[in-house]
Structure 1
């Protein structure tokens, strides 16, 4: 991977470079109105040198994507409301905190890590993810053939545990004992290739051998997606007429006010896309999991912000009828489940396009996955950890730490940054539907983002060395650190080294909470983008699953 050398490296300059490269990327077909709006976006940083203990440009990339989203927002504000003098400022520190938004949520000033919120998680943990042994079935482990392999048991590790011949449950084991048990079993009994193929093709679980970025780029799948942009928007059914902007009854001036979005997703990336859209004014209905399907409450606290969550049994005719009724009134459907999930329920893209033609109004059909939408691995399910190991991000982090092993990135970076990409893609498609007509497909993936991300190069060597010296003796990260433990370690490092970044007055905005306590207030990470006269906010607060009925307000 390229290392950019510079004697005067700054976050602002690099974020601006990445931002300009997006605005001028011919693959994205950026309209002139957006290019003009980009000149009204300013990037600011209180820290002009990198401060995260990583060689990867997380702050710079997140800031650039928020700037690009701001340019699209300004363009649509101008088109809808004539706000041609509106400007935007993107805060680099807030764009960094956005990358672990879920971990910073507070209720009435109390962090969600407090034990009093544990009961809220229990009802969704039907796969017993709270048991360390089961949770750590998802991790990077050394294999018998001298490689490293990431196994991912999803939210119910039973199938992956049975695949490797381990008991379903060992609640008596501590975290350290569980890591030791899994490491011994995997390293002594299994080759990496066997694990990857058997998990994905026989057990329909996620697994990948850990590659470097260079190894990924020359793989068959890498060659298939390496030249893709961060998202792909394509017009279909061009005969459908342009759709006028909906009436902005709230008068907020937000770019997506009145746009209706169905959120059929879970676990960070998909929910982040639609959460950002809710902050931009969209009305979002999330189809939550049924009682048998596990979810993660600590992710839902943040991921459900601005949404009306309704529970549907999508395998019943009643549930399918209710979903179709929502589709007939929707502008966007966001699908973030395993590839083909909606197809198997009877809602293929062809059928949903048919519904759009029948009503005479274009529909945005957005989907997000792990691997991308072409290449030999496109059918596989996956998660951020899978993409990070597949594409080389984990090896870059491990080498930076002086280790001969991959280590997951210290924040859920790809999930949250893919969330920004997806929100931008929806703005793009909505604008084109309003001006050109038609329905639109939107395709994006964690791995598309990770390729773009790594093509920005690593931090200059001098910056990497400065960071290692700054955190000397504190970077105890290893291959067996899972995403939760990494987030906890990063929160402690932030509290010690960057306490001003966590100033509640600067970090948080407030919204209502519908998680069971009357009068409770949620505090969430403010959007990194602010506008000169328009405020971003959700129309509703955060809510637990199934709170709303399946109908548009």
Structure 2
């Protein structure tokens, strides 16, 4: 490590800049309690030599540690309001780094995400084989265009429409990775980036041209989204009164910050479910509602559904709406991770819940996350983590840092998890506001906003980045056309071979999970507080496991 660079000092500086930024909506109590947050590496001697290992040139470890500190500060403010005491908040940066790859450190009966043997324990929610069929899976990937630019097509969890868009069949007998990359890459190379943008618009797909950060910030959307803080909390109505906290059950000996809160989670994949997972850590009852007709990634549910109940409801049917109405009638927080305005079209958008809050005399907190943000001309566009990383400029910076003049997707869904943490901060922010002021609130953030926050901290000094690359030598062979699975598995193997994850077991929580037919291990909560408990009250389970009722 460089004698001139301190990861802890950098983290403290990022933390202070976020807490001190008056453009965000943090409660004043959270700002005043910032000195209660303490950062350490997580190693006995507080050494930083094994801390910075994630193969990304930007300060992922430091940024997520700082965000976890902000999360802890807002939780501390709620705890002070609710229980009358202040607490110390401890953030171990090694633990926070693991948060950025939570799905990759989770396991079922000893099988992790990369083990083929894990499939027999999972519920098959890949309804259209957009994940399990390699050809269809590669409909979500980065390819070179006719005009020598790079375009990330994305078949989402459906695949067929994107493949049709570029003139390919929805299914193929191809099974070899390199042959599939060449086959789909050849099809994409027949179009310019501008032509793909137009096709993407016509077919309503989640694709994007890979831009540099400078190119993105020069667009009207880039300019507008860059002017915003990482999250926003907007007041929807002011007529509903302050909401008092319920009496804590105190079963564990220590109360939890969000005991008694009820959360309805309408999300899939990673970022949205991560918000719900964090709220569950603080004691909220979270029920994840998914449609039986929509796909989800099976393994991501192992970690993402921890601490929750899960249920299937088709809210487009009369019976489904009746079941959903019964859940939301008693809810405090609604999480929305779908396309912008998708739930609004069904009568379940932020304004709809503002009216419901007024009518019932108890405000709602509506939390949204998406790819491009909720302001600007691209706010309507669908997207995923890879799309955000390509459009924001993060992928181009990653590729150049690896010595190539091409964009490369960073490993692990780090932007997803970072966005989930910001979403949880926004939710806690709104909880404090509802308790002290009353009203209903819309809290929102996006993957692009996380990326911009990350890149605003700058890249590592050259000697630090060289040390990180030396620990991840196999990453040097990665190319733009490699899949996110190939990139993340390469990075994970480097961490395992370098014994970086040897201390992992001490950061895991172990459950017996009837839903997954065995023992599940997932990452424990990162934020540690000395007077309240952060921990899960429910084991993990697959989607659609429980009845659509509160418990």
Q: TM-score scaled by structure 2? A: 0.95
Q: Which deviations, in whole Å up to 9, do the C-alpha atoms of 1:248-294 show, x marking residues without a partner? A: 2245422111111110000100000110110111110110231x311
Aligned counterpart for 2:290 among listed residues 279, 288, 291: 288
**Distance in 1 separating the partners of 2:96 and 2:290:** 28
1:324 alignment partner in structure 2: 325
**Distance in 2 separating the partners of 1:52 and 1:219:** 30
Q: CA separation of 1:532/1:191 partners in 2, compared to 1, >3 Å: closer, same or farther?
A: same
Consecutive unaligned residues in structure 2, runs of 5 or more: none
Contact 1:264 1:286 in 2 (8 A): yes
The structural deviation recorded for 1:121 is: 4.5
Counting only pairs closer than 5 Å after superposition, residues 416-431 of structure 1 correspond to structure 2 as 416-431=417-432
Residue 162 of structure 2 aligns to a residue whose secondary structure is: helix
**Distance in 2 separating the partners of 1:513 and 1:250:** 24
1:240 alignment partner in structure 2: 240
Q: CA separation of 1:216/1:384 partners in 2, compared to 1, >3 Å: closer, same or farther?
A: same
Counting only pairs closer than 5 Å after superposition, residues 306-325 of structure 1 correspond to structure 2 as 306-325=307-326
**Distance in 2 separating the partners of 1:215 and 1:40:** 40
Asked if 1:26 is matched to 2:27, the reply is no
Compute the RMSD of aligned alpha carbons. Answer: 1.7
Consecutive unaligned residues in structure 1, runs of 5 or more: 1-5
Contact 1:333 1:364 in 2 (8 A): yes
Residue 222 of structure 1 aligns to a residue whose secondary structure is: helix
2:222 alignment partner in structure 1: 222
1:260 alignment partner in structure 2: 262
Q: Which deviations, in whole Å up to 9, do the C-alpha atoms of 1:501-533 show, x marking residues without a partner? A: 33243221123313242xx22111122222224
**Distance in 2 separating the partners of 1:469 and 1:548:** 47
Q: CA separation of 1:346/1:322 partners in 2, compared to 1, >3 Å: closer, same or farther?
A: same
Asked if 1:278 is matched to 2:280, the reply is yes
1:156 alignment partner in structure 2: 158
Aligned counterpart for 1:175 among listed residues 171, 174, 177: 177
Residue 299 of structure 2 aligns to a residue whose secondary structure is: helix
Q: Which moved more, 1:101-110 or 1:538-547?
A: 101-110
Q: Which deviations, in whole Å up to 9, do the C-alpha atoms of 1:215-238 show, x marking residues without a partner? A: 111111101111111110012211
**Distance in 2 separating the partners of 1:163 and 1:473:** 34
Contact 1:501 1:507 in 2 (8 A): no
Q: CA separation of 1:533/1:521 partners in 2, compared to 1, >3 Å: closer, same or farther?
A: farther
Q: CA separation of 1:205/1:120 partners in 2, compared to 1, >3 Å: closer, same or farther?
A: farther
Q: CA separation of 1:469/1:120 partners in 2, compared to 1, >3 Å: closer, same or farther?
A: closer
Q: CA separation of 1:181/1:349 partners in 2, compared to 1, >3 Å: closer, same or farther?
A: same
Q: Which moved more, 1:59-68 or 1:341-350?
A: 341-350
Contact 2:39 2:93 in 1 (8 A): yes
1:397 alignment partner in structure 2: 398
Counting only pairs closer than 5 Å after superposition, residues 423-502 of structure 1 correspond to structure 2 as 423-472=424-473, 474-497=475-498, 499-502=499-502
1:139 alignment partner in structure 2: 141
Q: Which deviations, in whole Å up to 9, do the C-alpha atoms of 1:119-169 show, x marking residues without a partner? A: 345621112121111101111100001100000000111000011111211
The structural deviation recorded for 1:108 is: 3.5
The structural deviation recorded for 1:470 is: 4.3
Residue 510 of structure 1 aligns to a residue whose secondary structure is: strand
**Distance in 2 separating the partners of 1:370 and 1:474:** 26
The structural deviation recorded for 1:333 is: 0.4
The structural deviation recorded for 1:112 is: 4.2
Aligned counterpart for 2:519 among listed residues 518, 521, 528: 521
Residue 430 of structure 2 aligns to a residue whose secondary structure is: helix
**Distance in 2 separating the partners of 1:177 and 1:436:** 60
Q: Which deviations, in whole Å up to 9, do the C-alpha atoms of 1:410-469 show, x marking residues without a partner? A: 121110000100111111000110001111111111111111111111111222233334
1:3 alignment partner in structure 2: none
Q: Which moved more, 1:46-55 or 1:206-215?
A: 46-55
Q: Which moved more, 1:474-483 or 1:398-407?
A: 474-483
Q: CA separation of 1:78/1:115 partners in 2, compared to 1, >3 Å: closer, same or farther?
A: same
**Distance in 2 separating the partners of 1:357 and 1:122:** 40
Residue 476 of structure 2 aligns to a residue whose secondary structure is: coil
Q: Which moved more, 1:189-198 or 1:209-218?
A: 189-198
**Distance in 2 separating the partners of 1:468 and 1:116:** 31
Contact 1:100 1:487 in 2 (8 A): no
Asked if 1:62 is matched to 2:58, the reply is no
